[in-house]
Amino acid sequence: MEHTVLCRNVSKVYRQDTVAVQALTDVSLEIPRLDFVCLSGPSGSGKSTLLNLIGGLDRPTGGEIYVDGNRVDQMEKGALAELRLRRIGFVFQAYNLIPVLTARENVEFVMQLQGVAAGERTRKAREILKEVGLEDLENRRPGELSGGQQQRVAVARAIVSAPSLVLADEPTANLDSKTAENLMQLLRHMNREHGVTFIFSTHDKLVMEFSQRLITLRDGRIVDDVRRD
């Protein structure tokens, strides 16, 4: 089977002064293409750490991580930035849009980094904003949008450059249950329609219901891995 993500015996130790904190211990997992995976577990279980390591935002202390066959844990900074730019989309808990750019410009930003021509950028951004239901709000800045709308912009930004993997760290944490449900439906739609693998973390049971596969972490270890489809 073709894997989007492959982790082998990944561990991560954070050092705070003289104290070592074991965030992940010997984590191994394979995530096939087009999977819609939920990482669950209590706070401090290692969900965000694992997402950061897969996304190349942090380096593991041990083990190997592959994304689309590229060994992430040994990549140079520049190559990692390029990998994130071309192959990985991010959705963060706090939306994390650039406040001085409009919804459309936020979506275009990643494409500009990729070197997509201006006309093409605008066309694609409008298309994806229409798909997430924000076609009438493209010229609004984040401060003029609700939390749910901002998160939809963040999803549009993550998906617009056609990555093979989207990592979403507690994407519904700041949303009410109705908005969270709508967002999860949108992510599932993107997963199916755009052929993108999704890995998201949550401790919200409602959100977990949407996943194809539920991986549970506790104290930095995978304690359960259930396929639900």
Partner 1 sequence: MTITPRLAWRNLWRYPRRTWLTVSAIAFSAMLLVFMITLQLGAYDMMIDTSLRVFTGEMQIQRQGYLDKPQMRASVPAAQASAARLRQATGLQAIAVRANGFALASSGTRSYGVPVIGVEPAFEPRVSTLPRLIKHGRYLSGDSAQEAVLGAALARNLKLGVGGELTLLGSGRDGSVAATVLSVVGIFDSGNPELDRHVVEIPLRTFQDVFSMGEEAHAIVIAGPGMEQIKQTEARIAALLPAGQGLVLLDWEKLLPGIKQMIQADMVQNWFTYIILIVVVTFSILNTFLMSVLERTREFGIMLALGATPWRLGGLVLLESVLLTLMGIVLGIVVGGGIAVYLHQHGFTFPGMKEIYAQFGLPGVIYPKLSFASFTLGPAVIFLFTAAAALYPALRIRKLNAVEAMHAV
Least Cβ distance, residue 100 to partner 1 (angstroms): 4
Q: Which is nearer to partner 1, 14 or 193 (CB)?
A: 14
Q: Which is nearer to partner 1, 160 or 213 (CB)?
A: 160
DSSP 61: S
Cα–Cα nearest to 97, from 52, 137, 130: 137
Q: Which is nearer to partner 1, 160 or 217 (CB)?
A: 160
Q: How far apart are CA 206 and CA 211, in angstroms?
A: 10
In what helix (H) or strand (E) does residue 147 lie, and over which residues does it extend?
helix 147-159
What residues line the site for partner 1 (CB under 8 A)?
A: 52, 55, 57-58, 78, 81-86, 90, 92, 96, 98-101, 105, 108-110, 112-114, 118, 157
Least Cβ distance, residue 177 to partner 1 (angstroms): 26
Q: Which is nearer to partner 1, 28 or 114 (CB)?
A: 114
Q: Which is nearer to partner 1, 121 or 213 (CB)?
A: 121
Q: Are 3 and 66 in contact (CB under 8 A)?
A: yes
Q: How far apart are CA 31 and CA 38, in angstroms?
A: 11
The sign one gets for the Cα dihedral 76, 77, 82, 87 is: positive
Helical ranges in 22-75 per DSSP H:
47-54
In what helix (H) or strand (E) does residue 4 lie, and over which residues does it extend?
strand 3-16
Least Cβ distance, residue 12 to partner 1 (angstroms): 11
How is residue 190 written in tokens?
């993107």
Least Cβ distance, residue 169 to partner 1 (angstroms): 10
Least Cβ distance, residue 57 to partner 1 (angstroms): 5
Residue bearing tokens 């050092």:
15
Q: Which is nearer to partner 1, 69 or 78 (CB)?
A: 78
Least Cβ distance, residue 69 to partner 1 (angstroms): 19
Q: How many beta carbons lie within 10 A of that of residue 52, not counting itself? A: 17
